[in-house]
Structure 1
Amino acid sequence: MSLEPLPAPQRNIPSFDDLPVPPDTANLREGPDLHPRCLALLPLIGVWRGEGQVVYPTIDGPMHFGQQIIFAHDGRPFLTYSAQSWLLDGEGGAVVRPAARETGFWRPQEDDTIEVLIAHATGIMEIYYGQPRATTAWELTTDAIVRTQTAKEVNTGQRLYGLVDAADGSDGKDLAYVDERAMVGEPLQPHLSAQLRRIAG
């Protein structure tokens, strides 16, 4: 494969359509078939975007944020996960600055448990275990958390994801979640929540 270099002002993250392996897909109508082990996670697959709120005793809040989450797959028995957030100057407000970034993998097992690995740009790596609570709800609890020397102290995390009625009143479903944290000396309590609408998939 030969690639023609672009002039420096035109360089950015490339999107190649000639990879020798299938690209990830967030649309079940395109790309490889979903692995049978991932069927319990099928409703999550897609690109989701919306707004949420962050609260915690150690921050001035509540604060509002925008977020995009992508669940995708490449035909193997896991989903790729990425989340990108940005702070807003209020509900439905203007963007203030970029915020949290997460990336990881959801790995469903044959006994219906789900192993979830999430790495944060803030120097924290979490391993969650969980299982479906219903066909459109999933609950996760941390089993291990490791962090760099410069990262914030986080001791425990719990997350609940679920599909809920669309906020815009349409027939579709939104992705909603609540993230609870025990960190920086505080007990386990709600930290993040958001409701996101499907924009692709």
Structure 2
Amino acid sequence: METPPWLNAPPVEEYPYEETHDLRVGPDLHPGLLGLLPYVGVWRGRGRGGYPDIEDFDFAQEIRFSHDGRPFLFYESRTWLLDGDSKPIRPASREVGWWRPVMVNGQAGDDVEVLLTMPTGFLELYMGQIDGLKVEMSTDALVRTPTAKEVTGGHRLYGIVEGALLYAYDMAAMGHGLQPHLSARLIRVAG
């Protein structure tokens, strides 16, 4: 059997196609993403969370929307819990994913598909609508590992209001129907 040429090849250079959250540098934004243009950047702020079976909590959050010139946004969110004096207690949730406008005949419409993955063992597929500076979406499918908590549905509302990113997340889990779970207000810090 012949040895493939890549098997003993030297390492390659650094990945040449990094995504950017700053529209002034890097590749041009794909025209299909114009409806999501206001979201591109780095956002930080605070929020409040709760659920019927857990005590309410305060958190801080950073969300990044970046692109690499293709017709989707890379999304990353990380949160950390805050004490009563707004001091960090510990890391909280993280999620990564992709926001893709639905293309019809090569043109982006108002529909969006959002894929989110959590390290706690579940994936969410959202279908939604872009309406100006607002994006509203609901789960179309959920997949979870045997050890993940029982999440059965979600509804998310994002909006740019007076320059800030506001969102609300309702979750169906642990035998409850959709219930308010998280809401936050974040300020653009880069992009």
Question: Same-fold call, TM > 0.5?
Answer: yes
Equivalent position of 1:197 in the other structure: 187
Provide the rounded CA distance (Å) in 2 between the counterparts of 1:23 and 1:30: 11
Provide the rounded CA distance (Å) in 2 between the counterparts of 1:77 and 1:140: 19
The structure in which a higher percent of residues are strand is 2
Deviates more, 1:105-114 or 1:139-148: 105-114
Equivalent position of 1:164 in the other structure: 161
Equivalent position of 1:113 in the other structure: 111
Equivalent position of 1:45 in the other structure: 40
Deviation at 1:192, TM superposition (A): 0.3
Q: Match for 1:57 among 35, 52, 59?
A: 52
Root-mean-square deviation (CA), in Å? 1.5
TM-score (norm 1): 0.84
TM-score (norm 2): 0.89
**Secondary structure of the corresponding residue to residue 86 of structure 2:** coil
User: Identity percentage over the alignment?
Assistant: 51
- What runs of 5+ residues in structure 1 fail to find an aligned partner? 4-17, 166-172
Matched, 1:182 2:172: yes
Q: 4+ runs of 1 displaced by more than 2 Å?
A: 18-22
1:1-201 pair list within 5 angstroms: 19-61=14-56, 63-90=57-84, 93-110=86-103, 111-133=109-131, 135-165=132-162, 173-201=163-191
Equivalent position of 2:5 in the other structure: none
Deviation at 1:2, TM superposition (A): 7.3
Provide the rounded CA distance (Å) in 2 between the counterparts of 1:89 and 1:145: 32
Deviation at 1:93, TM superposition (A): 0.9
Provide the rounded CA distance (Å) in 2 between the counterparts of 1:2 and 1:26: 31
1:146-185 superposed Cα distances (whole Å, 9 cap, x missing partner): 10011010111000000112xxxxxxx1101000011101
> What letter corresponds to residue 95 of structure 1 in structure 2?
P
- What runs of 5+ residues in structure 2 fail to find an aligned partner? 1-8, 104-108
Provide the rounded CA distance (Å) in 1 between the counterparts of 2:73 and 2:101: 9
